[in-house]
Amino acid sequence: MNPLLEVNGLTMRFGGLLAVNNVALSLNEKEVVSVIGPNGAGKTTVFNCLTGFYKPTAGQILYRGEALQGLAGHQIARKGIVRTFQHVRLFKDMSVIENLLVAQHRHLNTNFLAGLLKTPAFKKSESDALAFAEYWLDKVDLKEFANRKAGNLAYGQQRRLEIARCMVTRPEILMLDEPAAGLNPKETDDLDKLIIDLRDNESVSVLLIEHDMKLVMGISDRIYVVNQGCPLANGKPEDIRNNPEVIKAYLGEF
């Protein structure tokens, strides 16, 4: 079976700094794959290259056999690859539900006249979007806050909203950059369940950056380890856990 996403020789250079050096990874359908590594290893930079926010210096990114490198960020998102950010990036002054409506922009009826005249087709598309947003609000347990300003939510809720906002774009690949950072243990548990639910019931593939090893080891199908921009190891969680090099560079002795 061909992988959904295949990355080869990805390299990103900032002046003299080689932030990402020859990284390769692949992601199959309905898989959770994690990228781990010490701070400053270049994990977020890999994400930025994959989602078109940086233009990689070299390398190939194939999504269903189609080359993505060089496409703009919004074009890649439209193909079904969306991400969250290490620092939450919600539309803070807009309500929770509006955040989810904006994300569905390209699935909506954006015809100017249809909107001005409130044609039946327009109303239908808006109410469909609302229903879909509601479905996801329910899933991330934020329904009662639908009309609250996104910026006023608690931190954990903001993180969940960010995931929901990605999901309403109907993605195939969801990329999460440290989704558990700043969450309490209960919230981390919920996040664990949510990601498994996304993979099993919503059939998205998840690419995950995370420092919480319990979470990573528990849900990952495969793990890639990056260190100082270079790939260090990859494999199943148990292989990674026992890999002496990974222990030395990142995990430390338990």
Nearer to ligand ATP, 177 or 187 (CB): 177
**234: which 2 tokens?**
């990859």
Q: Give per-residue burial for 108-138: e unless 16+ CB within 10 Å, then b.
A: eeeeeeeeeeeeeebeebbeebeebbeebbe
- Report the residue count for the chain: 254
**From 4, 5, 10, 19, residue interacting with ligand ATP (rule: CB under 6 A):** 19
Nearer to another protein, 115 or 182 (CB): 115
Residue given tokens 């910026």 in the structure block: 151
Residue given tokens 């700043």 in the structure block: 182
User: In whole angstroms, how close is the CB of 82 to Mg ion at the nearest point?
Assistant: 17
Q: Residue 24: how many CB atoms within 10 A of its CB?
A: 14
Answer whether 168's CB lies under 8 Å from 140's CB.
no
**From 5, 27, 33, 41, residue interacting with ligand ATP (rule: CB under 6 A):** 41
User: In whole angstroms, how close is the CB of 54 to ligand ATP at the nearest point?
Assistant: 7
Residue 39's binding partner out of Mg ion, another protein, ligand ATP, none, with CB under 5 to 8 Å set by partner kind: ligand ATP
Which residues form the interface with another protein (CB under 8 A)?
A: 51-53, 72-74, 77-78, 82-83, 85, 89-95, 97-99, 101-103, 105-106, 108-110, 112, 115-116, 118, 130-131, 134, 137, 143, 146-147, 149, 165-166, 169
Residue 199 as a binder of ligand ATP (CB under 6 A): the answer is no
Burial class (CB in 10 A: 0-12, 13-18, 19+), 19: buried
> Minimal CA–CA distance to 37: which of 239, 171, 210?
210
Residue 155's binding partner out of ligand ATP, Mg ion, another protein, none, with CB under 5 to 8 Å set by partner kind: none
User: In whole angstroms, how close is the CB of 247 to another protein at the nearest point?
Assistant: 34
Nearer to another protein, 108 or 196 (CB): 108
